[in-house]
């Protein structure tokens, strides 16, 4: 049996640093591992108890907005995801679907609360130097961050408070082995919270 020379997923590299690849088309089919961190790493979304994540009402908004993404962007599916006290991990799968649009939102109903369609991080303390390409990974993540922020700003104690750090971290998932590795990493994140680099008490 040939020796597998593919490097293992290193969370300390991929979780903490990611650079957009010059010339890479982030609208094309593929799988992406995304990490988004709160402003100043504040633990806004709940706490880890006995290795399990307990979401508060703020964290439930993050969770709801993530699950809502495929209803508005028909060309994506969700993989593993986890809302942590001060960051979020998720896998987004871009695919080609008959009749899907790659130019923005679908007309599917998303909620009873009207929210603006935003493709730049202009309201959450994390502005991007330029607006991301429509229908790209950046546009989806940017809108997700903005929608979460708009919902949280309806809560008096958070009104006007920056929610997210600038930008986000991403990693292009190259093969099934890497997908399995990252999937396990995301699902085991609460169990490893005591040693997590994002844990302010570590």
pLDDT digits (tens, 9 = 90+) for 145-158: 999 999 999 999 99
Rounded Cα–Cα distance for residues 184 and 87 (Å): 17
For tokens 């008490």, the residue is 201
Mean pLDDT of the chain: 77
For the structural domain made of 11-194, what CATH number should be given?
3.30.70.1290
pLDDT at position 152: 97
Q: How far is CA 88 from CA 24, 34, 65, 116, 165, in A?
A: 24, 8, 12, 22, 12
pLDDT at residue 120 greater than cutoff 60? no
Q: Model confidence over 39-79: pLDDT tens digits?
A: 999 999 999 999 999 999 999 999 999 999 999 888 899 99
pLDDT at position 25: 65
Rounded Cα–Cα distance for residues 145 and 122 (Å): 10
DSSP category for residue 87: E
Q: For residue 26, name the pLDDT band (cuts at 50, 70, 90).
A: low
Whether this prediction's pTM lies above 0.85 is answered by no
DSSP category for residue 22: T
pLDDT at position 24: 58
């Amino acid at each position: 049996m040939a020796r597998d020379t593919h490097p293992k997923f290193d969370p300390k590299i991929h979780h903490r640093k990611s650079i957009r690849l010059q010339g890479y088309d982030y609208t094309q089919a593929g799988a992406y591992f995304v990490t988004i961190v709160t402003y100043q790493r504040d633990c806004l979304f709940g706490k880890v108890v006995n290795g399990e994540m307990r979401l508060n009402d703020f964290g439930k908004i993050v969770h709801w907005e993530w699950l809502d993404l495929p209803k508005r962007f028909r060309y994506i599916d969700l993989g593993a995801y986890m809302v942590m006290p001060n960051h979020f991990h998720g896998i987004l799968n871009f695919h080609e679907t008959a009749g899907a649009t790659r130019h923005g939102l679908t007309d599917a109903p998303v909620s009873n609360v009207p929210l603006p369609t935003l493709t730049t991080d202009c309201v959450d303390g994390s502005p991007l130097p330029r607006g991301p390409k429509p229908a790209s990974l950046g546009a989806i993540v940017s809108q997700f961050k903005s929608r979460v922020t708009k919902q949280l700003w309806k809560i008096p104690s958070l009104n006007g408070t920056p929610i997210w750090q600038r930008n986000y971290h991403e990693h292009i998932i190259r093969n099934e082995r890497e997908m399995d590795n990252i999937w396990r990493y995301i699902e085991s994140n609460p169990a490893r919270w005591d040693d997590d680099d994002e844990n302010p008490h570590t």
